[in-house]
Structure 1
């Protein structure tokens, strides 16, 4: 099948929810470009997100993040993965709502922990008790992520490809976002 994407699909959710991995799989399924707002920031700054947080602080990072998301939403419709905190800012939610469609990848706290606990690339988890920090973030952010246009529940048994197919299946029910262009 050939698909025409009318709006950028913006993946939001907690760190470890699979936004980047699932985003790449979804972009392949739909035959559209994949972009990652965090990767764009790292490329522009020529330093890691952890280094940006350490050098310039979270408010500086969040301002750059909003600028990058606004720029990426102006481009050709694609699949866009955002950082876990991006959707928390009302200005980002408004931009995403105006120019794209937000899809929250939801995952249980245990699944998220299993995915992030061995990574040192998560600046917000560089605390004495990273599990408690993740739990606190999860509890604080869940209500905001619930504002996404669509939510898709992750399952520990799903492969990345399975999750990409789950998201694609939901999008197929939204002809304002995704249209089948088969000539058959």
Structure 2
């Protein structure tokens, strides 16, 4: 979900595991030379989702890395199935109230510009069945960043 901590924790996890970190949203922004918000605004969500799928396909050639995807990436075009085939997937589960607090600080989220709490709640409800197909599911609502990282490391190393 947006604001779950994917990029922050992914970057830290990559450092701990001594491997490369890839943020798919950043890859898309570099490729398109524009922000995710601008892509949504100027080219539409379908265009963006197709870019995500292209990036996921290209990731199959990269080994030993931590990948942070956008919150919608696993939902579209069977991307979660593709990501599960690449390695260990982790769903960072966070409560709606906590997601609202975190996202309220970030006005750049294109899908959350209006009625944020309601949108987050609907998004969560719709996405949860797909997210629950990740190989590891961890609720980090009540964890700080260090606790979250340690829990993820513990589960990934099993």
Structure-2-length-normalised TM-score:
0.95
Once residues 151 and 100 of structure 1 are traced to their aligned partners in structure 2, the CA distance between those partners, rounded to angstroms, is 14
Q: How does 1:11-160 map to 2 (within 5 A)?
A: 14-127=1-114, 129-156=115-142, 158-160=143-145
Structure 2: gaps (5+ residues): none
Runs of 4+ in 1 over 6 A off after TM superposition: none
Structure 1: gaps (5+ residues): 1-13, 174-184
SS, match of residue 151 in structure 1? strand
* 1:78-120 per-position Cα deviation (integer Å, ceiling 9, x unaligned): 0000000001024212211222221100011111111001211
Structure-1-length-normalised TM-score:
0.82
Q: Tell which has more relative contact order, 1 or 2 (C-alpha 8 A, sep 6+).
A: 1
Larger relative helix fraction? 2
SS, match of residue 89 in structure 2? strand
Task: Give how far 1:76 is off.
Answer: 2.1
1:73 and 1:100 in contact (8 A); partners too? no
SS, match of residue 161 in structure 1? helix
1:25 and 1:160 in contact (8 A); partners too? no
Once residues 90 and 41 of structure 1 are traced to their aligned partners in structure 2, the CA distance between those partners, rounded to angstroms, is 16
**Residue in 1 aligned with 2:153?**
168
Larger relative strand fraction? 1
Task: Give how far 1:131 is off.
Answer: 1.2
Greater Cα radius of gyration, structure 1 or 2: 1
Alignment RMSD: 1.2
